[in-house]
Amino acid sequence: MFAGAIAQRVSGMGFALVAAPALVLLIGPFDGVLMVNLCGAASALIVCTRVWRHIQWKRYVLLAIPALLAIVPGVLISIAVSGPTLQIVVGVILGIALTTSLLVTRGDYTTPAVPTGIVAGSVSGLMSATAGVSGPAVGIFAVLTNWEHRSFAATLQPFFATLGLSAFVSKIIATGGILPDHDWWLWLVVIACTLAGLVAGELVAKRVSVRAARASVIAISYLGAAAAIVDGALSL
Task: Give pLDDT, residue 161.
Answer: 94
User: In this structure, is residue 198 part of a structural domain?
Assistant: yes
Task: Give pLDDT, residue 91.
Answer: 79
Task: Give pLDDT, residue 98.
Answer: 74
CA distance 128 to 41: 11
Task: Give pLDDT, residue 150.
Answer: 83
User: In this structure, is residue 84 part of a structural domain?
Assistant: yes
Q: Which long-range contacts (CB under 8 A, 24 or more apart) does 210-214 make?
A: 210/10, 210/11, 210/149, 213/7, 213/10, 213/11, 213/14, 214/11, 214/14
Q: Look up the domain containing 39 and give its range.
A: 2-231
User: In this structure, is residue 196 part of a structural domain?
Assistant: yes
DSSP 84-122: HHHHHHHHHHHHHHHHHHHHHHTS-----HHHHHHHHHH
Nearest to 233 by CA among 106, 90, 136, 102: 90
Task: Give pLDDT, residue 214.
Answer: 67
Nearest to 15 by CA among 24, 26, 2: 2
User: In this structure, is residue 55 part of a structural domain?
Assistant: yes
Sign of CA dihedral 76, 78, 81, 82: negative
User: In this structure, is residue 52 part of a structural domain?
Assistant: yes
CA distance 236 to 200: 39
Task: Give pLDDT, residue 69.
Answer: 95
Task: Give pLDDT, residue 107.
Answer: 55
Specify the DSSP class assigned to residue 21.
H
CA distance 196 to 198: 5
Task: Give pLDDT, residue 155.
Answer: 94
User: In this structure, is residue 236 part of a structural domain?
Assistant: no
CB environment 106-145: b (16+ within 10 A), e (fewer)? eeeeeeebeebbbbbbbbbbbbbbbbbbbbbbbbbbbbbb
User: In this structure, is residue 137 part of a structural domain?
Assistant: yes
CA distance 233 to 223: 15
Task: Give pLDDT, residue 147.
Answer: 86
Residue 227: other Cβ atoms inside 10 A: 16
The domain tally of the chain equals: 1
Q: What is the pLDDT of residues 69-127, one digit of tens each?
A: 999 998 888 888 877 887 788 778 778 877 877 777 655 667 788 998 999 899 889 88
Contacts of 2 (CB under 8 A, 6+ apart): 193, 194, 196, 197, 200
Task: Give pLDDT, residue 18.
Answer: 82
Nearest to 170 by CA among 69, 91, 56, 59: 69
User: In this structure, is residue 139 part of a structural domain?
Assistant: yes
Radius of gyration of the chain (CA): 16
Segments of the chain scoring below 50 in pLDDT: none
Task: Give pLDDT, residue 216.
Answer: 72
Contacts of 209 (CB under 8 A, 6+ apart): none
Task: Give pLDDT, residue 109.
Answer: 61
